[in-house]
Structure 1
Amino acid sequence: MSYSRFAIYYVPPAGPLADLGASWLGWDVVRGCEATQLNIAGLCDITMTPRKYGFHGTLKPPFRLRSDRTIAELKQFTLNLAERVEPAVCKGLYLTTMGRFLALAPQGETSALQRVAAACVRDLDMFRAPADAAELARRRKARLSDRQEELLVQWGYPFVMEEFKFHLTLSGPLPAADIAKWSDTIQRLLPDLNEPFIVDQIALCGQREDGRFELLHRYTLAG
């Protein structure tokens, strides 16, 4: 299998949340195949944007592999990273809006999640091919702050390090009038989230020729 980009994600372990994420988006990132999407009018349309990524939380955003690096090296370095990074724990997850899209976000103190994501961005950056002019121009359409511009130039993405906000995306941009309706819909389907949210593993995922991401390997955080 050939992959155009790679990313480090948090992919929920097998269970009710992972099952709902796959059936909500219509793509199972773990199995690398389409999932039977819930029969809800309009759901296919509002999940079109996040569907190709699968249900996940980004830790290191998608990147192209440098020409002088191999997938085998990336896998080994990701294993080495996981062995020295401690798991992250926060109070739980809750449904929220980020801009005009729906997502699950962590409750309470998130510094441990920031630590894990920063390690992934920093320690694996040797594998990232520099962003080209077209990619930089596309990112700059978001009206970046001065600090976000610095991060874009340094790390290839503006919303990393202190600008990072962990979330698991549930929709594309929604019309303001529809946000409450879709919030109510997903809220009724969510499993119990009132328990500690633990990130004790990271997932190396690859983007296939069809544009969809799939899980390549999970790594347990053992620091």
Structure 2
Amino acid sequence: MTDSRLAEPRYAIYFAPPAQSPLWRFGSSIIGYDAETGRDLSPPAMRRFEAQDWREVTSEPRRYGFHGTLKAPFRLAPGREEAELRAVCQRFAGDRARFACAGVQLVTLGRFLALKTVSTCAALDRLAASAVTAFDEFRAPMSASEREKRLRAPLTARQQEYLDRWGYPYVFDDFRFHMTLTGPLDEETRARAQAELAALFALSGADGPLIVSEIALYRQEDGPFRVLARYPFGS
């Protein structure tokens, strides 16, 4: 893909909790953005951060909206249309049945904080693996600059192979479902943020089972990603 195409919309296939659920409300309020409505949100009252400082802490996840990645962001391949992608989303979801995972918990992943499933959820891993392959025909090849940016992270040989084949290094055996809440933080800031988020999550009512009953198609144009459509599972 030439760099001239970088201005085109990007799409992603995500897991997004129901828009009225405690988990969606918690995650969206933490990152300061509701991807369902496209509205910026004020952060909850915090003891350890000023509001503007917290906006800096969450600037990176705010660009993507609250989500768990199934098929990482991509631009449409030449000759592909959004309507085709929507149709495949509907068929993909219609062929699947809802399931439940044990729930999510606050964790540290490298330098950032996220929500992660309490225990391995094989059904969720299978869903993500299926999404990686099912939607790859819609993915334009990475530009040279996009690939260079990805390679700045320390990747294993297998992850580099995944990057070149699937456009994203953390798929299949290297997939770890998570829902990002902060950008990369230094150790002191991360410790403060973890204490703050742990207290807020405990009060959120979002600690029940993680019900997966639909996928969401997100689109990014000039601003952050936004929910374009949700596709319920068939049963």
Partner of residue 71 from structure 2, selected from 45, 60, 71: 60
TM-score of the pair, normalised by structure 2: 0.89
Q: Which residue in the other structure is 2:55 paired with?
A: 44
Q: Which residue in the other structure is 1:4 paired with?
A: 9
Letter aligned with residue 72 of structure 1: A
1:94 and 1:193 in contact (8 A); partners too:
no
1:91 aligns with 2:96: no
Q: Which residue in the other structure is 1:117 paired with?
A: 128
1:88 and 1:116 in contact (8 A); partners too:
no
1:171 aligns with 2:182: yes
TM-score of the pair, normalised by structure 1: 0.93
SS at match of 1:82: helix
Percent sequence identity is: 40
SS at match of 1:52: helix
Supply the distance in 2 between the matched residues of 1:11 and 1:52 (Cα, whole angstroms). Answer: 15
Q: Which residue in the other structure is 2:34 paired with?
A: 28
Q: Which residue in the other structure is 2:210 paired with?
A: 197
Where in structure 2 are there 5+ consecutive unaligned residues? 1-6
Supply the distance in 2 between the matched residues of 1:156 and 1:58 (Cα, whole angstroms). Answer: 13
Q: Which residue in the other structure is 1:206 paired with?
A: 219
Q: Cα offset for 1:189?
A: 1.2
Letter aligned with residue 29 of structure 1: A
Distance 1:36 1:178, change over 3 A: closer
SS at match of 2:185: coil
Q: Which residue in the other structure is 2:25 paired with?
A: 19
Q: Cα offset for 1:192?
A: 3.5
Q: Cα offset for 1:222?
A: 2.2
Partner of residue 81 from structure 1, selected from 77, 92, 101: 92
1:129 aligns with 2:174: no
Supply the distance in 2 between the matched residues of 1:171 and 1:47 (Cα, whole angstroms). Answer: 5
Letter aligned with residue 225 of structure 2: F
Supply the distance in 2 between the matched residues of 1:147 and 1:85 (Cα, whole angstroms). Answer: 29
| Number of residue pairs the alignment of both structures matches | 221
1:47 and 1:171 in contact (8 A); partners too:
yes
Letter aligned with residue 36 of structure 1: S
Q: Cα offset for 1:180?
A: 2.2
Letter aligned with residue 108 of structure 1: S
1:202 and 1:219 in contact (8 A); partners too:
yes
Supply the distance in 2 between the matched residues of 1:92 and 1:172 (Cα, whole angstroms). Answer: 22
Where in structure 1 are there 5+ consecutive unaligned residues? none
Q: Cα offset for 1:37?
A: 2.7
Supply the distance in 2 between the matched residues of 1:173 and 1:70 (Cα, whole angstroms). Answer: 35
1:3 and 1:208 in contact (8 A); partners too:
yes
Supply the distance in 1 between the matched residues of 2:206 and 2:227 (Cα, whole angstroms). Answer: 24
Q: Which residue in the other structure is 2:229 paired with?
A: 217
2:22 and 2:205 in contact (8 A); partners too:
no
Q: Cα offset for 1:193?
A: 4.4
Q: Once structures 1 and 2 are overlaid, which stretch shifts more, 114-123 or 131-140?
A: 131-140
